[in-house]
Structure 1
Amino acid sequence: MAAPLSETLERFSEILADVVAHRAVAMLTGDCARSPLMSHGAVEATSSEMASLARLVDVGRPWYGEAVVGGTARPVLAVASAPSGSAGALLAVLPEDGVAPTRAEQEVAQQLWDLATLHVVDLLTEAVPVHMAENWAAASARSKAVAELTDAHATTLTTLLVTLRSKSLDDAAARRTAIEVAVSALIELRSALDQDRATSEETAGEAFARLADTLGLLTRYSDVALDLTGPEAAQRSLPADVANAARATVRDAVVIMLEQGGVSRIRVTWNVEDTRLRVSVRDNGAGTLAADALPVLRLSDRLRALNGALEFDSPPDWGTTVTASLPLTPPEVPDANPLSSLNPREIDVLEQLSQGRRNRQIAAHLHISEHTVKFHVANILSKLEVTSRGEAAAVARAAGLPARVSLVRLPGDTRPGQHAI
C-alpha cells in the first residue's frame, strides 16, 4: 500500500506469488488516461487482449480459463474490481505452466486486487490537476482522430453499399468496383498520417479537389446527380484543420442526405471569403430532416471546436440546406490552467504555500534552503501575476491545488485543526 503508482503492479506481483505462482501479470484501469495498461513479467498483454478479457469477467468474481494474452491462448486467472468512484480495474494473472489456482487461491487474489485497486484510485485522486493537463490533451487528440477515422470508415461503407445495390451494374462489375473503392480507402487511410505530418495547410482548390474525389466515389453508382461548384479563389491557402473540417462536414452532410432517400440532386458550393470559408450542401429531397437529429448535431459539434457555425434549413417539400462557416484564423484558446507556467518545483512550493506553510517549514519539507524557497515564491508571484502569498494560495485552490491537505504536521507548525478535505 506504500508503493507509488509506477511500482504498484510489480509489488503486487511479488505478494501474489506467495498465493498464486505466476509468470506475469497485467492490469487495465479505466481511471488513468495516460497509462491505462501495465504489464510485469515474462509476457506483455495488449490493450485489445485485456479489453476482450474484461468482457468475460464480472466485478468481484474471479474467472479462470483460456484467453489470448501476449498473442497466445493460455490459462489466465482474471479478477476485476470497481470501488466507489472508480471506473474499474482488471488484473490478468498468467499462472506457471500446469499450475491451476484453487478456488480459495482465486478468492484471495480477488481480495488482494480489491485492496490494490483502492490504492490506485487513491493515488490518482491525489494527482495535481496541472500534471494531468498533458493527459487530457492527449486524450482529446485521440478522441478527435478516432472521430475522423470513424467518419471516413462510414463513408467507405456507404460507398460500398451504394455500389453493390446499384441497378446499373451487373454482379461482376459491382464486385470490381467495390474492390476498387476498398483499395482506394485503404491507400487513403495509410497515407493520412504522412499527409498530416507533411503539411499544415493546402490551397482551397486542392482541398476541394480531394473532396470531389471522395464525393465522386460516394455517388458514382447512385441515382443522385452531383453538382459541384469550387471556390473562385482556388489558390487561397487554407489551414489544414479548416480544410479537413470542411471536407468532413460536406462528406457527412451528403451521407445524411443520401440516407434519408428521395434525393435526386445534391449541390455543393465552396466560397472563400476574406476571413472565412463558407460551404453549402443542398438537396432536392422532401425536407424532412430535423435540426436536432443526432447526425446534424455531430456536424455542429465538429465545427464548434474550430469556432465555426452550422446553419440548417429543411422546409417541407423544399429540400435540405446545410451551410457551414469556418474562420480561416485559428481560434484563440486561452490557457485554462493558471498553473501551467510553473515548473514542477514551483508547483511543490505553491502546494505547501497554499496550506499556509511558512518558508522555514516549506524548506524543511522539501529539503531545500530558505533562500531557495524565497526565490521560488518570488517567481510564483510573478508568473501568477499576484502580489501576495494569500492571492497565490487562492489561485492554487481555484485550480485544484492541493488535491488533499496533509495530515502530517511539519516542524514548527503549531496551527490546530488541520484535517483532510
Structure 2
Amino acid sequence: MDAGANEETDTGPAGPERLLTGVVDLLRAPLPEVLGRLSKVLAGVVPHHTLLLLTGDCAASALKWHGDATLTGPGALAELRRLAEEVAMDEPCFDRAALGPAGERHPVLAVPARPSGSAGALLAVVLDEDRAAPPTRARARIAWLLWQLTSVHIATLNARMEPAKLGVGRAVADERARLAAELTDAQAMALTTVLGALRSRALTDAAARATATDLAAAALVELRAGERGPDAAGPAESVADVFSRLADKLVLLMRHNDVRLELGEPDEPARLLPAPVAGAAYATVRGAVLTMLEQPGLGRVRVAWTVNGGTLRLSVRDDGPGELTTDHPGIRRLVEGLAALDAELTLDAVPGWGSTLVVSLPLASAERPRPRPPASLNPRELDVLRLLSSGHRNRRIAELLHISEHTVKFHVANILDKLDVASRGEAAAAARSFGLVEEGAPFA
C-alpha cells in the first residue's frame, strides 16, 4: 500500500500559485462548503471524482461526502474504518475500497489527520477509474499536507460553532440511537415470541402454525403503529404502571417458551418514575431478558424491581450456563443505553449456576447545563417547535396559534432546516435538549 515511488515535486497542472490561491479560498470556507472547495484544490494534484470523510467529531453523522453520493452506502463506513485502522497517521496510502450499492472496488488515497482537540478524521480521495497506478509520492504528500490544513480549519470552525448546534447534534444522535434500539428490541421480541409458538411441545403442528400466524400479525400491527415502551419525553409514571406493561409483554414472550417467568412485585408501586427512568427501566429489562433467552439450557428467568431511596434497582436472574459477560453485544448495548442516566450495571455469572444482572437507576440524575436554542429561530418558530414537540399535528398547531396550516408547514420546514435535522421527531429531541418542553407538560 505504497503511495508511489516517483519523487516528482511539480504540483501538476494547477501550478504553485493556483494551488496556494485555492488553499486561501479553502481556509475562508464555511463548514458546509469545506469539502467542495478542498475537492477543487485537490483536483490539480490528485485527479478524483469523490471525497469521503470519516469523522469522529460529529455526533449526528460520522460520514460526510462531496461528489458521488452512491458511494456512501451501508458498506462505506465499514470500509473507511478499515482504512483508518491500516493507514499510518503521518503517511497517506493507496488502496482499493468496496464502495457503492454493489460493493465495487474503487481506487482510493486514504489520508488521515488528528489536529489538537479532534477525535480524528480520515479523508478517502476516490480516484478516477482510469488511473490504475497510485499517485506519486510527492503528489500524495501534497494531498496529506492539504488535508492537515483542512482538518485544522474544520476543528477551528467546530470550536466556534454555537453550543446550541453541538447540543442539537448530540440530542439528535441520542434520539436516533434510542429509536434504533427500540425497533431492534421490538423485532427481537416479535421473532422470539413467534419462534416460541412454533417450537412449543404443548401445541400441535396446526395449532403452532395458527398461533405463530396470529402472533406475527399482532406484532406487525404494533410495529407499524409504533407501539413501544414508555416515551422518554412523556409524563412521569408510577412504578406499578410501568412494571405492569412490561410484565404483559414478558408474559406474552414466554407463553409458548419452555422457560418459566417469575415476576417479583415491586415495592412502592405508587412511586412516580421520571419518563427517562421509566423508559430506561422498561428497555433494560426487556433487553436483558432477550439476551438471556439466547442461551441454551435455560429453565427460569426472574425479574424484580425495588425502590431504595432515590434509586430504582432492577434485577434479572436466570438459571442458564452462567457464561454471559459484559462483552456480549446485548449487554454492551444495555450499558450504552444507560450511560446518559448515570446508572450502574453489574453482571455476576457463575458457570453452571446462571447469571444475575443488576442495574441501579438514579431517580434524579444530576442536572447538566442545557444548550440554548439557535439564535436563528425566531419567536414564532419557537412557539411552533414547542407545540410540535408536545405531539400536536399541523392543524392543531394552526388552531392554537391562530395561523393557517400552510404557515405552520412553512415554519416547520424552516425549523428542520435551521436545526439541521431530518424529521419532526429529531426536532422534538432538540427542543427537549434546550428545555423548551418540560416532560409531560402541555403547551401553555
Place the TM-score, normalised by the shorter chain, in its bin: 0.5 to 0.7
Matches within 5 A, 1:21-420: 25-33=50-58, 36-40=62-66, 46=72, 48=74, 50-51=76-77, 54=80, 60-62=92-94, 67-68=99-100, 77-83=107-113, 86-92=120-126, 100-101=130-131, 103=133, 113-126=143-156, 127-128=158-159, 134=167, 135=169, 139=173, 146=180, 150-152=184-186, 154-156=188-190, 158-159=192-193, 162-169=196-203, 188-189=222-223, 191=226, 196=231, 199-231=234-266, 237-271=272-306, 275-283=310-318, 285=319, 288=322, 303=338, 305-309=340-344, 321-328=356-363, 330-335=364-369
Q: Name the CA distance, whole Å, in 1 between partners of 2:154 and 2:202.
A: 59
Aligned length: 331
Q: 1:113 to 1:251 in 2, by over 3 A?
A: same
- Distance across 1 between alignment mates of 2:73 and 2:341: 31
Deviations 1:109-128 (A, max 9, x none): 85554334322332345453
Read off the aligned partner of 2:279 and give its amino acid letter: N
The verdict on how the C-alpha distance between 1:322 and 1:195 changes in structure 2, with shifts beyond 3 A counting, is closer
Q: Cα deviations across residues 124-179 of structure 1 (Å, max 9, x unaligned)?
A: 45453886753556555555555555555555555455455444456665566556
1:178-227, Cα deviation, whole Å (9 max, x unpaired): 56555555555551689737724344344223312331343232212223
CA distance in 2: counterparts of 1:290 and 1:42, whole angstroms:
44
Aligned CA-pair RMSD: 4.9
Residue 152 and residue 116 in structure 1: after superposition, are their counterparts in 2 closer, same or farther (change >3 A)? farther
* Residues 91 and 113 in structure 1, CA contact (< 8 A), matched pair in contact too: no
Q: Which amino acid aligns with 1:245?
A: A
1:9 paired residue among 35, 39, 42: 35
- For the residues of structure 2 that align with 1:87 and 1:170, how far apart are their CA atoms? 58
Q: Given residue 159 of structure 2, which amino acid in structure 1 is its aligned partner?
A: V
| Aligned equivalents of 2:301, 2:104: Cα separation in 1 | 55
TM-score when normalising by structure 1: 0.57
1:371-406 C-alpha deviation (Å, 9 max, x unpaired): xxxxxxxxxxxxxxxxxxxxxxxxxxxxxxxxxxxx
**Residues 62 and 193 of structure 1: CA distance in aligned 2, closer, same or farther (over 3 Å):** farther
Runs of 5+ unmatched residues, structure 2: 1-22, 376-444
The one-letter amino acid paired with 2:50 is V
Corresponding residue SS for 2:341: coil
Q: Classify 1:150/1:128 alpha carbon distance in 2 versus 1 (closer, same or farther; 3 Å).
A: same
Distance 1:333 1:146, change over 3 A: farther
Q: Contact 2:42/2:143 (CA < 8 Å) preserved in 1?
A: no
Relative contact order (alpha carbons < 8 A, sep ≥ 6): 1 or 2 greater?
Answer: 2
Contact 1:9–1:39 (8 Å) recurs in 2: yes
Query: 1:77 and 1:39 mapped to 2: Cα distance?
Result: 16
Q: Work out whether residues 286 and 317 of structure 1, in 8 Å CA contact, stay in contact via their aligned partners in 2.
A: yes
Structure 2 Cα separation of the partners of residues 314 and 104 of structure 1: 52
Question: Helix, strand or coil: the match of 1:103?
Answer: coil
> Which one is further off, 264-273 or 125-134?
125-134
| Partner Cα distance (2:268, 2:69) in 1 | 57
Alignment match, 1:352: none
Distance (whole Å) between structure 2 residues aligned to residue 200 and residue 115 of structure 1: 53
Q: Distance in 2 between matches of 1:100 and 1:15?
A: 20
AA at the equivalent of 1:14: K
Whole-Å separation in 1 of the counterparts to 2:98 and 2:287 = 42
- Residue 331 of structure 1: SS of its match in structure 2? coil
**Equivalent residue number for residue 428 of structure 2:** none
Identity, in percent, stands at 34
In structure 1, the gaps of 5 or more residues are: 345-421
Q: Give the Cα–Cα distance (whole angstroms) in 2 for the partners of residues 316 and 52 of structure 1.
A: 35
- The amino acid across from 2:58 in the alignment is A
Q: Deviations over 1:31-52 (max 9, x none)?
A: 4315644444575654536336
CA distance in structure 1 between the aligned counterparts of 2:46 and 2:352, rounded to whole angstroms: 70
DSSP-derived class of the 1:121 partner: helix
Task: Report the structure number with the largest CA radius of gyration.
Answer: 1
Q: 1:37·1:47 contact (CA, 8 Å) conserved in 2?
A: no
Superposed displacement of residue 331, structure 1: 0.7
Report the TM-score, using the length of structure 2 for normalisation.
0.55
Residue type matched to 2:149 in 1? Answer: H
